[in-house]
Structure 1
Amino acid sequence: MSPFKGQTGLKRILNATGYSLAGMRAAFLGEAAFRQLVLLNAVLVPLSFMLHVSRVERALLIAVCLLALIVELLNSAVEAAIDRISLELHPLSKNAKDMGSAAQFVALAMIALVWAVILL
């Protein structure tokens, strides 16, 4: 067992919340792509409430936006882990980073597709 897994109950939840907030802060301060997605969400999420769409459609419009933030957080985590291992150019490191980028591309395409389908 990991020594970092010793907490239970409310203490574990509080610790996990702190780690999550620290991760979001690190992403916001250190990742331009994350800041850009936060800005996109700051525009699109309120816009979704101004549109005459059903609740399910609104939920989808918001969900795809939040999904892109999740994908960017995971992509940034993969990149940080790869860079922590080595800054040396390696084909496997390149593949891992490229796949993270591809995942983000798909998430952004999904935003465009879902918004287009619902609005057009």
Structure 2
Amino acid sequence: MNRSTSSSSTSTQGPHLKRRGLLRAVFALRHSWAGIVATWREESAFRQEVCVAIVLLPIAAFVDVSAAERVLLAGSVLLVLLVELLNSSIEATIDRISLDRHELSGRAKDCGSAAVMMALVIAAVTWGVICGPLAWHWLRVHL
């Protein structure tokens, strides 16, 4: 068997060493951070969503709701960021393949955009259902 195709040789030799344990986690974290930074730099929608998250996450942490509701509030905000990161990766991949207009490229980008919209709807409904009654009560008492 050729050494270059042997699975045991690729994990112990060559330029593409497989990292294990803590070292693998460190490299994964570094790549994840690079993805966040690149998306921040290139995508205005991501920057806007991060700014909204900076406001909403502390509110989710301190609003007077149950622990499960708190997780739903925070999770819905983080879901938007997650889907935006995935959408950005789809767009970057399509643009890497070709900047020419193509029906399938357009469909892929439209589906990614629709996924972001669905995540935004999920977040809005979650916040509306959980915090809407609290906000309504506060307005009635203070206005």
TM-score (norm 2): 0.79
Identity %: 47
Quick one: which amino acid aligns to residue 115 of structure 1?
W
Q: How does 1:1-120 map to 2 (within 5 A)?
A: 4=16, 6-119=18-131, 120=133
| More helix per residue | 1
Gaps of 5+ in 2: 1-6, 134-143
Quick one: which amino acid aligns to residue 111 of structure 1?
A
45-54 or 65-74: bigger deviation: 45-54
Deviation at 1:49, TM superposition (A): 2.5
Distance of aligned partners of 1:8 and 1:50 in 2 relative to their CA distance in 1, 3 Å threshold: closer
Q: Runs ≥4 in structure 1, deviation > 3 angstroms?
A: 1-5
Quick one: higher RCO (CA 8 Å, sep 6+), 1 or 2?
1
Q: What secondary structure does 2:82 align onto? A: helix
CA RMSD of aligned residues (A): 1.5
Quick one: which amino acid aligns to residue 33 of structure 2?
L
Deviation at 1:5, TM superposition (A): 6.4
Deviation at 1:46, TM superposition (A): 0.7
Quick one: which amino acid aligns to residue 87 of structure 1?
L
CA deviation string 1:35-84 (max 9, x = no partner): 11100100111112232111110110000000100000000000000000
Gaps of 5+ in 1: none
Give the Cα–Cα distance (whole angstroms) in 2 for the partners of residues 90 and 114 of structure 1: 36
Q: What secondary structure does 1:81 align onto? A: helix
